[in-house]
A and B are shown apart, each in its own frame.
Chain A
């Protein structure tokens, strides 16, 4: 193995980890967003909202396992530092994800009188998970700074990420629902759009404050010029969302997907901006990807697996989305009208 390859390999895994986490944030982001919108809907709408994410959530959540898994297996030194520093918010997130995940089944399988409880657990779980994820992200960017500025910054992201998830979830529902549920999604998205936009600008402005190294990376010629498309595209995406949300005609004409797509674009751009800011560190200011990586030999073994399986995962994920394409329908485990009633034999 050449020295070049052993330098490149950790970067490849950093990219795989980053993309897995980005995929998680977008894919489970809409699940969590739908969960956050749950209390606004009535019973029939709640069933439909959950039906729209039911077939997907499990696979969506698996991207988190892959992201954290790559951190664990490719960068064990960093995994230890990051997750020990984020011990309590990570535990809180996990409890949130547990509550949300089991509520999918319990809310319809437990006796009817508990449905409200499990709907509440679904919402609470989604809220806990998204707030803790925001807090973890903020804390990570500040390098686990526990001064008031760092904490305020983390708190800001902890409040912003759920709002962004709500926008994603609403965008998802605009595509998957129609009628009054779609209207509910549009109005929720409208309400959360401006606070989220303002918060994003505030976070972008605050990032150099909490992490001075970022200033040098962004505010220099020619970097500033080269990077200008990132905020510009963000702004364009933002106003595209706003335009669609304020023109119900467009939604009815079938352009509702723009809300979801443009929100995803904002997530992708924010991710790229963040990746650029912290490269090549994996624990900001403390550890680079090369310091944290396991042996080249182990990464080679993993690399073979990634090259073979990741394309396969993408292909069958696309297949699954095609199967459940279009408006959501009520979920059922059977294709037929149920026959357990008439098939029951007299004892």
Chain B
């Protein structure tokens, strides 16, 4: 294998591992803020308990996000040196602003948010939590602005092979950015909601649930039930946007080999790129055009219109189907749970057992859908790194393949260990919520302001 493919595998491994954790923390921090506010309003210790348990999850998840994120900042230069050399004038400021405005904010106030209670007033603690939540979301804003610019570049000019920004607002608010940001923030909400509902359901099954679990579970089910239809709408809008700006990606997603009017929708099948057709395709006539263009007779460009410049079909085709499949399952489970909860006047303890098992099984469904979605959009950008302008092959590193293979193996081993441990620890914490609580915390007479 050559350096290019190994570098791509390594980058994919790193970014796939990394995205799992921000996907949870971005939304989880807003949940934590909500729990705090509710506790301050109601003085009901159950809210504080929910806050306590999910703060532990947050701390763990955040740590994994940070350490894997640092790897990313090195990999741009080590494996894709050409990217920053060509597009550095645009990518640089976006990444720089992410570090300056978001990373320090979240990392610094995280300390106060996690360990500051009793050292700062409740209000200062709340502000710290809000700043961490704002920081994580801001970080998503900057990195998605860059990612979207790579998908739908705008506001630039090219002089002697290098990009220069002509209009920063156009760079930032590039055509796919509003859609992608909405789609990703909703994905984060769903991932966290299903994790929260799933772990709480597991606690109910195992008999380790607390009053905090009930509160968290109710919130999570309601959030999921609201977010999932919005996600379908956002996904549809994003699809229309992609058809306009990246038609080759759409052709690959739907495995449309030839440009045609009134294209059928292939539900399932086996895209065979060498033969240029989908084997064993299960098709519904006209539905493809209807979904992609909101018009049953619209013309959809096929892969034949993009010779040598379209992504590999099978991974994009399958990634999309996994994402939509998991999304549909989420819709089913979230609405069933919400309806069931409403019927039982919000008492999560009365939820039927099969539903609890269903929710538990869906705990990590958000990860699956998020990863599948990212594969669609990132593999769908190939063979370009900046869509239509710079090919991935042009920017790859010259490091010896053996070195990349070595580090790839090391990263995969470490990530494997961490992933297994993370999931194991989540399960363990859910089953033993009490044994991890602080036992001998000195009583604070009052919440003093910052003590010297």
Contact between chains at B452 and A325 (CB < 8 Å): yes
Are A84's CB and B349's CB within 8 A? no
CA–CA, A326 and B232, complex, Å: 52
A301 interface residue, CB < 8 Å from B? yes
Check B114 against A333 for contact (C-beta < 8 Å).
yes
Q: Which residues of A contact B407 (CB under 8 A)?
A: 87-88, 91
The distance in angstroms between the C-alpha atoms of A347 and B210, with both chains bound, is: 9
- How many CB-defined contacts (below 8 Å) exist between A and B? 281
* Closest chain A residue, CB of each to CB of B100: A309
Q: Give the residues from 415 to 436 in chain B that come closer than 8 angstroms, CB to CB, to chain A.
A: 418, 421, 424-425, 428-429, 433-434, 436
Say yes or no for B73: interface residue by CB 8 A criterion: yes
B210/A298 in contact, CB under 8 A: no
Known: A84-B399, A87-B403. A55 touches B74 (CB 8 A): no
Which residues of B are found within 8 Å of A339, using beta-carbon distances?
Answer: 45, 48-49
The answer to whether B119 touches A334, judged by C-beta atoms less than 8 angstroms apart, is no
B32-68 interface with A by 8 A CB criterion: 45-46, 48-49, 52-53, 55-56, 59-60, 62-64, 66-68
- Min Cβ gap B105→A in Å is 8
Q: Which of B382-438 contact A (CB under 8 A)?
A: 397-399, 403, 406-407, 410-411, 414, 418, 421, 424-425, 428-429, 433-434, 436-438
Q: Give chain A nearest CB distance to B305 CB in angstroms.
A: 35
Q: Are A323 and B112 in contact (CB under 8 A)?
A: yes
Is there contact, CB below 8 Å, between B403 and A77?
A: no
Is B85 touching A77 in the complex (CB atoms < 8 A)?
yes
Distance, CA A208 to CA B303, complexed state (A): 61
Q: CB-defined interface of A303-322 with B at 8 Å, one 1/0 digit per residue?
A: 00110011001001101101
For A51, give the chain B residue with the smallest CB separation: B115
Residue of A nearest to B55 (CB): A333
Interface size, B (range): 35 or more
Q: Is the CB of B406 within 8 A of A101?
A: no
Whether A106 and B421, one on each chain, are in contact in the complex, defined by CB atoms closer than 8 angstroms, is yes
Provide the residues of chain B in CB contact with A295, threshold 8 Å: 89, 162, 164
Measured between beta carbons, the chain A residues less than 8 angstroms from B281 are none
The distance in angstroms between the C-alpha atoms of A334 and B115, with both chains bound, is 8
Could you write out 24 A-B pairs with CB less than 8 Å apart?
Answer: A58-B110, A59-B110, A65-B70, A69-B95, A72-B84, A80-B85, A90-B78, A91-B78, A98-B418, A101-B63, A105-B425, A108-B436, A297-B89, A298-B90, A309-B101, A310-B100, A316-B104, A323-B111, A324-B116, A325-B452, A332-B117, A339-B49, A343-B49, A343-B210
How far, in whole Å, are A335 and B91 apart by their CA atoms in the complex?
Answer: 42
Residues of A81-127 contacting chain B, CB below 8 A? 82-84, 87-88, 90-91, 94-95, 97-99, 101-102, 104-106, 108-111
Tell me whether A62 and B77 are in contact (CB under 8 A): no
Given A94-B70, A335-B118, A340-B433; A305-B76 close (CB under 8 Å): no
- Asked whether, in the complex, the Cβ of A88 is within 8 Å of the Cβ of B441, the reply is no
Report if A66 contacts B (CB, 8 A): yes
Asked if A72 contacts B101 (CB within 8 A), the reply is no
Name B96's contact: one of A73, A108, A320 (CB within 8 Å): A73
Q: Which A residues are within 8 Å of any B CB, using their own CB?
A: 54-56, 58-59, 61-62, 64-66, 68-74, 76-77, 79-80, 82-84, 87-88, 90-91, 94-95, 97-99, 101-102, 104-106, 108-111, 294-295, 297-298, 301-302, 305-306, 309-310, 313, 316-317, 319-320, 322-326, 329-341, 343-345, 347
* Assembly CA distance A74 to B77 (angstroms): 12
Residue B282, interface by CB 8 Å: no
Q: Give chain B's interface secondary structure class.
A: helix
Select from chain B the residue with minimum beta-carbon distance to A63.
B104
Min CB–CB distance B441 → chain A (angstroms): 5
Does A334 contact B438, Cβ atoms closer than 8 Å? yes
- Once the chains bind, are A105 and B59 in contact (CB under 8 Å)? yes
Output the least CB separation between A82 and chain B (Å): 8
Specify which of A97, A101, A323 is in contact with B450 (CB 8 Å cutoff).
Answer: A323
For A105, list chain B residues within 8 Å (CB).
59-60, 63, 425
- What CA separation (Å) do A71 and B77 show in the bound complex? 9
Q: Is the CB of B112 within 8 A of A343?
A: no
- Residues of A within 8 Å of B52, CB to CB, are 333-334, 338, 340
A324 and B111 contacting across the interface, CB-CB below 8 Å: yes
Question: Is B92 touching A322 in the complex (CB atoms < 8 A)?
Answer: no
The answer on a CB contact under 8 Å between B77 and A72 is yes
| Docked pose: A136 CA to B206 CA in angstroms | 50
CA A329 to CA B444, docked complex, whole Å: 13
Taking CB as reference atom, which chain A residue is nearest B54? A333
Given contacts A73-B84, A80-B84, A102-B67, contact A62 B78 (CB under 8 A): no
* Chain B 85-126 interface 0/1 with A at a Cβ cutoff of 8 Å (1 = within): 100111111011101110111011111101111111000000
Taking a contact as CB atoms closer than 8 A, the residue among A101, A108, A343 that contacts B67 in the complex is: A101
* A338 proximity list for chain B (CB < 8 A): 52, 434, 437-439, 441
Contacts of A297 in B (CB 8 A): 89, 164-165
Taking a contact as CB atoms closer than 8 A, the residue among B91, B111, B425, B441 that contacts A337 in the complex is: B441
A66 touches B100 (CB 8 A): yes
Beta-carbon contact of B89 and A70 below 8 Å: no
Closest to A329 in B: B442
Evaluate whether A324 and B119 lie within 8 angstroms (CB atoms) in the complex, with A58-B111, A65-B73, A340-B434 already known: yes
A69 to chain B: which residues have CB within 8 Å? 73, 95-96, 99
Interface membership of B229, Cβ < 8 A: no
Name B9-23 residues within 8 Å CB distance of A. none
B169 within 8 A of A: no
With CB as the reference atom, state the residue of chain A lying closest to B83.
A76
On chain A, the residues within 8 Å of B441 by CB distance are 330, 332, 334-338
Docked Cα-Cα span, A94 to B79, in Å, equals 15
B439 CB to nearest chain A CB (Å): 7
Q: How far apart are the CA atoms of A109 and B421 in the complex, in Å?
A: 10
